Amino acid sequence: MFFVPCIISHVIKVCIPTTLGRRQRLLECIAAVSDNSNYPHELVVFENSLGGWVAAVREMVADLGSDPVVVIGDDTLPQPDWLEILVGAYKKRFPDNEGLAQPDDGIHKGRIASYPMATPQFLLRWLYSGYKHNYADKELKKVAEAMGKYLWVPESKVVHKDRNTNSDLYDDTYALQEVEEGSENYAAYSGELGIVTTKLNLMELYHNYFKLKGKDAAELSFEHFKDFCLDINDGIFKEAAVMRAQLKKESKSSNVSYVDCIGYIIAKKLKIKFLTGDREFEGIENVEFVK
């Protein structure tokens, strides 16, 4: 972890977890913070080798004292006056520093605490260490809100570069697991707004986590994604069966599952792309292939 110091005292620390392969994104983020933060601030950049957003945030803020900090992503571009607006709203609502403020990330409309401003003590207490990445920001918002200590500040803008340019995607089981694990290659798809899937995929995900990490991890992964599941009508089942039969006819070595065929058909009907890293779908029309 390193600091980019500011000579003014009583500054707000802007904390940015990053990884080695995201240097260009980090530099763009730092430039946006520098250009658009009309408020005394100090950058804290944390090289994350721990895996996942939660562990990085908890480690990063542990030694930052008791004053409020703001945590943003290295793939964000804070907009003009974002910090002054956010700090002003926070201080007005929480004069004793007992709360959490969230800027507008352009996606979730305050539904999650994606870029929280809070004291390190607040984050360490309420950011659950059992999560890796996905769902942690949603639960953090819910906990703060239940205590009457949550404030969304829509006038403070922090643009999430990658996710703001992506429409909804159908996440197959491969993609869901990569998102859940905080995979670097799936960082741009980690926002929950664009997730579409079915409980058939969650069944496969539950099976994978049960084998790899046990029942508790399987239950947690199922809970994370169950609100994003669509119902499946009879026509989808029939079209998926035909699709699999045709693929097997074209290539006897094809190992595409019924579950994946169902997901692919749903994606086409919704006019969204099918997100996967399954080699069986590489090069197929309407597939966003990310390994």
> Per-residue pLDDT tens for 217-258?
899 889 888 888 999 999 999 999 999 999 999 887 888 999
Average pLDDT over residues 259-269: 96
Per-residue pLDDT tens digits for 111-154: 889 999 999 999 999 998 887 766 788 889 999 999 999 999 99
> With contact defined as beta carbons under 8 Å apart, do 17 and 57 qualify?
yes
Indicate the average pLDDT of the chain. 89
By the 10 Å C-beta count (0-12 exposed, 13-18 middle, 19+ buried), 158 is classed as buried
CA distance 143 to 266: 34
- Distance separating alpha carbons of residues 184 and 200, to the nearest angstrom: 25
pTM of the model: 0.66
**Fold of the 2-160 domain:** Spore Coat Polysaccharide Biosynthesis Protein SpsA; Chain A (3.90.550)
CATH 3.90.1170.30 fits 169-289, yes or no: no
Sign of the dihedral through C-alpha 180, 153, 91, 149? negative
Residue 200 clears pLDDT 60, i.e. is over it: yes
59 confidence band (pLDDT: 50, 70, 90): very high
Domain boundaries, given as residue ranges, for the chain = 2-160, 169-289
Answer yes or no: is pLDDT of 58 > 60: yes
Q: What is the pLDDT of residue 30?
A: 96
Domains 2-160 and 169-289 equal at CATH topology level: no
